Amino acid sequence: MVERVEGLVRIEVDGVPCLSYPGLAGPVALGDEVVVNVQARLLGLGSGGFDVLYVNLTRGLELSPDEGAHVMRLPYTPLQSAVRYAEEDGPLADTLDGMPVVCCSLHSQVAPVCAGLGYGLRLAYVQLPGGALPVSLSDAIRALKTRRLIEAAVGVGACLDGDVQCMNVYSALAWAGTEEFDAVVCAVGPGIAGTGSHLGHGGLAATDAANAAAALQGAPVLAVRVSTQDVRERHRGVSHHSRAALELCLGSFVTAWPHGLPPPAWLHRREEVDVTGWETTCADLPLDHMGRGPDEDPWFFASAFAAGRLARSLVR
């Protein structure tokens, strides 16, 4: 047993790092006989350097449904479980009344976005499918909650282990409005899924969040994925993930852009943001993007920080 944190246990199985999610697979202890999923590790995926416990043959599941639950999460799969959704607890707000919603295409943008929003606000994090599904996998979210930059984490759809579970991004945003949060940050979980194609990637979750926020009379702010150091041409400059997300936004939105970095000529709906001091503001946060930190790829983090700072100016 290596480490236990909320919703997650890090273990070793036959000397290989492995993750276990007690909310899905039940408890695990030293000496248990388990079956693990090895595919992500064998493929050498960026966020898959470990196995995932699938079933504990020693203990079984030993899980009970949430009290009052009657909707199945991950329905008709071996991992289906009955959970209580926030929509079942009462009516939700009809409008966000201008509440800013920062829409990220990558999980590693969340920490600098929250730093840009700053302290003294009630922030909700909404995780959409498109990367890792368990909110509990994210060390960044744990750190942001510990530092009181995030008050609550919401799992949307198949995402799990949030403080709150919602059926879709519309109801998740409406829940945040009902609970009178000041702003929302939306993103996929760690380890974005992608095929290298224009539309086949989890980054379009940012579009889903922006369209939902616009439909509910919120104020969507797009966090652009920018890198000057990525060796892949499709992700250098403005990533093709962000470009696709911007092209598919249907309602009103604004794109944050860090002052000092020349913008691409095609990026018309943008607002330049002074990001002076972002390094100091983010200094105690876990910043990592594809193994690169703020010293190696500063504009990636500065552009995300810009989205948070712009959203802060929109808080009513």
Domain that holds residue 169: 88-314
48 and 121 together in one domain: no
Give the count of domains, the chain. Answer: 2
- For residue 262, which amino acid is it? P
With cut-offs at 50, 70 and 90, classify the pLDDT of residue 231.
Answer: low
Residue 77 placed within a domain = no
| Contact (CB, 8 A) for 131 and 190 | yes
Largest CA distance in the chain: 60
Same domain for 158 and 274, yes or no, is: yes
Within a domain: residue 80? no
Residue 206 shares a structural domain with residue 143:
yes
Regarding whether 36 and 136 lie in a shared domain, the answer is no
- Domain assignment present for residue 186? The answer is yes
Strand 123-128's sheet: what is its strand order? 164-166, 152-156, 123-128, 183-188, 100-103, 219-223, 254-258, 270-273
Res 295: pLDDT: 87
Looking at residue 62, its pLDDT comes to 74
By the 10 Å C-beta count (0-12 exposed, 13-18 middle, 19+ buried), 288 is classed as middle
Question: 199 to each of 8, 158, 179, 245, 306, how far by Cα in Å?
Answer: 31, 20, 34, 9, 25
Three-state DSSP state, 4: strand
pLDDT tens digits, 208-217:
999 999 999 9
Are 109 and 252 within one domain?
A: yes
Query: pLDDT tier at 293 (50, 70, 90 boundaries)?
Result: confident
Q: Identity (one letter) of the amino acid at 41? A: R
The answer to whether residues 94 and 243 belong to one domain is yes
Same structural domain, 92 and 180: yes
List the beta bridge partners of residue 226.
238
> How far apart, in whole angstroms, are the C-alpha atoms of residue 114 and residue 15?
36
Q: What is the pLDDT of residues 132-179, one digit of tens each?
A: 999 999 999 999 999 999 999 999 999 999 999 999 999 999 999 999
Within-domain flag for 68: no
Q: Is residue 35 part of a domain?
A: yes
Same domain, 18 and 132: no
